[in-house]
Structure 1
Amino acid sequence: MKIGFVGLGSMGAAIAMNLVESGHEVHVFNRTPARAEPLRAAGAHVAASPAHAAESADVVFTMVADDAAHAAVTFGEAGIAGALRPGALHISMSTISVAAAQDQATRYREAGLAFVSAPVFGRPDAAAARKLFIMAAGEDAHLTVAVPLLEQLGQSVGIVGTDPSQANLVKLIGNFMLSAIIETLGEACAVAGKAGIDPMRLVELLTSANFNAPPYKIYGSLIASQQFQPPGFSLPLGQKDNRLMLVAAEALGVPMPLASLVRDRFLTLRSQGIGAAHDWSAVALCALSDAGMSKPAHLRT
């Protein structure tokens, strides 16, 4: 199958490489051309623009950072929307706002273009290992094309509904829940540490009992050891998703006290100069700092 792939950050590059290794003809684009070189070496074609990546594709994927980047590669100059051929499908794997997904679905439907939202749960190592959990939504005919491809990239594909924006909402809800786990782990490690219990031992004990789940194991280890660099998912991206969750909840008339607490945690860290170089699990530093348990800034590695 001819595939276009736009956005080669840590997640996108891993997913695009899997598509190449699955035998597809893949045309890739990234604003920073150097990120495409490993894919070129693996057999991908490097496109000069999102439009060039999409113009001959049966399916074009996007995996970009936020609404602005998504709008630019989709509807901007030399964007995907103006280059898709009749019958081709755009699969957005980006974590974008519900409103942005709704807008794209409407514009594509009016133009007779096909669109599926398929955001993912998983960090770059999971993407490389094809272990992502993928949430997909779109019209049935479009999902028929999308799902076999998505199944090559993850360990499961969950169908949310026929409205693409529903998949984006589920993704934001999931990231909200992960942020609450991070906050919980920070507070738990602070309490244990103040009592003289090794936080790492606490995590080992609890994740071998009632909390035997990947988020607790992954983030528990990072928080107990205060190893927040390099980022698997950067703090500003986590802050962005928290903001999008609160906007979506407000539009629905749903208060989210925990999400509001996490919002303030992000703001606290950003005001201290902690940003893109840190994983979003660094949110736990706030609880640790409140208890006098965090490392000095120069040791936060």
Structure 2
Amino acid sequence: MGPEGFLTTLPQGAIHASCSTVAPDTNRRLAEAHQQHGSTLVASPVFGKPDVAQAGNLWVGSSGPTEARQRLEPLQAAFGQGTYSFGDDAGAASVAKLCGNFLLGTVIEGMAEALTLAEKAGLDRVAFYEMLTSTLFNNPIYKSYGKLIAERHYQPVGAPPAIIRKDMNLVVQEAYKQGVPMPFANIIRDQLTATVALNEQDVDWASFAERVAQGAGL
């Protein structure tokens, strides 16, 4: 944007695949700027940790003009195992990304509360985690984040707390705009705010689970 921005360097007909997690209205404004320039923006936020990206197994959300989305499909297939289209609105895929990150946060908060209660009541938290993820919650999300929480060891870093705090702030802002009460989103954002305030940087964002354990005296 602006006279020295990258937009001025794009040729006519170019497509900008925006993979960042941003506010839906940010991508809408970018799409308008691209349209004035003669280029096109397609929102392409991704789901997956760094190791998933390295393996080319990300999940991709996509929204923007149909023709541009179709032109991007071979590129998206190179780094993703599946692409899901959310229509022509450049902000739509960003909404999907924010909702997805919110759901991940609810998993972390829920596992943190459950494992903390179990430990306070005398159960072995790791053994309880293993039971949960071998039965009712036998899926990759509960297993991967649950392992970090059960062991209280938040490495390797998928995303640091400060980055996801930004995302949760965007969730709360979008919820306010749409008139949707989201009390869990506010709880998760507050937990991340406390984690950032404690200067926890080189840990996965799931480390906000420690706020639950500390609140229970563990």
| Fold shared by both chains (TM-score > 0.5) | yes
Confirm or deny that 1:139 pairs with 2:65.
Answer: yes
What corresponds to 2:202 in structure 1? 277
What corresponds to 1:171 in structure 2? 97
What corresponds to 2:87 in structure 1? 161
Give the aligned residue type for 2:52: A
Task: Output the aligned Cα RMSD.
Answer: 1.3
Give the aligned residue type for 1:117: A
Displacement after TM superposition at 1:80 (Å):
2.0
Given that 2:12 and 2:37 are in contact with CA atoms closer than 8 Å, whether structure 1 keeps it comes out as no
Give the aligned residue type for 1:225: E
Confirm or deny that 1:245 pairs with 2:171.
Answer: yes
What pairs up with 1:188-267 in 2 under 5 angstroms? 188-267=114-193
Displacement after TM superposition at 1:148 (Å):
1.5
Of all paired residues, the percent bearing the same amino acid is: 36
TM-score (norm 1): 0.70
Given that 2:59 and 2:80 are in contact with CA atoms closer than 8 Å, whether structure 1 keeps it comes out as yes
**Which of residues 16, 24, 39 in structure 2 aligns to 1:90?**
16
SS in 1 for 2:150: helix
The 3 A distance-change label for structure 1 pair 77 and 126 is: farther
SS in 2 for 1:95: coil
**Which of residues 268, 271, 290 in structure 1 aligns to 2:215?**
290
Measured in 2, the distance between the counterparts of 1:263 and 1:97 equals 16
Displacement after TM superposition at 1:110 (Å):
2.3
What pairs up with 1:39-78 in 2 under 5 angstroms? 75=1, 78=4
SS in 1 for 2:86: strand
**Which of residues 14, 19, 43 in structure 2 aligns to 1:117?**
43
Give the aligned residue type for 1:291: A
Give the aligned residue type for 1:123: K
Displacement after TM superposition at 1:169 (Å):
0.7
Displacement after TM superposition at 1:76 (Å):
5.1
Measured in 2, the distance between the counterparts of 1:257 and 1:169 equals 18
Given that 2:157 and 2:203 are in contact with CA atoms closer than 8 Å, whether structure 1 keeps it comes out as yes
SS in 1 for 2:75: helix
Give the aligned residue type for 1:180: T
Give the aligned residue type for 1:278: V
Measured in 2, the distance between the counterparts of 1:214 and 1:145 equals 31
1:176-232: CA deviation from partner (whole Å, max 9, x where unpaired): 010011000110110111122222222211111121121101100001111123421
Query: Mean Cα displacement is larger for which, 277-286 or 104-113?
Result: 104-113
1:99-122: CA deviation from partner (whole Å, max 9, x where unpaired): 211110111122221110110110
SS in 2 for 1:158: strand
Give the aligned residue type for 1:199: R
Give the aligned residue type for 1:138: G
What pairs up with 1:98-109 in 2 under 5 angstroms? 98-109=24-35
Compare the two structures and name the one with the higher helix fraction: 2
Measured in 2, the distance between the counterparts of 1:123 and 1:151 equals 17
1:227-258: CA deviation from partner (whole Å, max 9, x where unpaired): 12342111001100000011111111111110
Unaligned runs of 5+ in 1: 1-74, 294-301
Give the aligned residue type for 1:89: I
**Which of residues 82, 85, 110 in structure 2 aligns to 1:184?**
110
Measured in 2, the distance between the counterparts of 1:155 and 1:76 equals 35
Measured in 2, the distance between the counterparts of 1:76 and 1:123 equals 33
Measured in 2, the distance between the counterparts of 1:151 and 1:273 equals 37
